[in-house]
Amino acid sequence: MRIGAITDEFSPDPEIAAIEMRAAGLETAELRVLWGRNILDLDDAELDRALAIFDKQKLAIDSIASPLLKCTLPNAPSLDARFQQDVFASRHTYDDQPRLAKRAFEIAARSGAKIVRVFSYWRTVDPEAVFERVVTALRALAGQAAEHGVAIGLENEHACNIATGLESARVLAAVDHPNLQLVWDPANALLAGEDPLKGLALLSMPRIGHVHAKDCRVSSAGPQWLAVGDGRVQWTEQITALRRSGYTGDINLETHWTGPHGDKLEASRICAANLRRLVAGCP
């Protein structure tokens, strides 16, 4: 398993992020927000500048953390108001999706990334009512991904219609396409009310293409973000199960925690060290 990070978890400035990630012993970089702008909003010159920065630090670009399908689905039930809708410098609509998909695949080709992350529309009060529409959208994106020689990676996102391992397993079965993989985020499953280990056990391991690492506890007041390994995700057990299943993809840090002193960079340094130790120590 290679270990990396979503770069803006270290810094929105790619120069700082790349140096800090290399110093932390990380190997891969996932692109989401650069210079305060979403990756899909950069032009080719800006993208090439960023790619040169990460290449200088010998960080491989493994994924494009796009906001595809992170929007409201028209003519659907009301949105579930329990969940915060994080947009990460990208507030787009349903009508923007074809343009965003085209740009995401262009950036994947330019960067060498093999996974383009996608979502399943903002979660409604009745996800079952939109399930077939989610399936249709994912099947279409998987077909486009095949044409570009990459995969789309559906992230189970607690604020979207596919949030848990159970929901992920169902949609993967419905879209039996080799170019649709899962970006498994056990912390998101926890926030959606699922035991992350039970959620993982429901998944077809060959369909997991990528893993995001963050940690938290959940109470009636909402999530309390913590250093990786200090929360309720059970990262030792997660990594052990992935390794024993033969998982050889990457694990990328998505810190969320703001650290002991409110310093996100310090938090990411701590979490990177914890994640490296967890991966090294798991059988």
Q: What pLDDT does residue 222 have?
A: 85
CA–CA separation, 125 vs 272, rounded Å?
36
Q: Do 51 and 17 form a contact (C-beta atoms < 8 A)?
A: no
The three-class DSSP label of residue 234 is coil
Q: What pLDDT does residue 66 have?
A: 96
CA–CA separation, 217 vs 230, rounded Å?
9
CA–CA separation, 108 vs 45, rounded Å?
15
pTM of the model: 0.96
Q: Do 42 and 49 form a contact (C-beta atoms < 8 A)?
A: no
Q: Do 225 and 271 form a contact (C-beta atoms < 8 A)?
A: no
**What is the chain's Cα-based Rg?**
17
Q: What pLDDT does residue 81 have?
A: 86
- What is the amino acid identity at position 198? K
Q: What pLDDT does residue 89 have?
A: 60
Architecture of domain 2-281: Alpha-Beta Barrel (3.20)
Give the pLDDT means over successive 10-residue stretches in the chain (283 positions): 97 98 98 96 97 98 97 95 71 92 98 98 97 98 98 97 98 98 98 97 96 95 94 97 94 96 96 97 84
CA–CA separation, 262 vs 257, rounded Å?
9
Tokens of 243: 């390794």
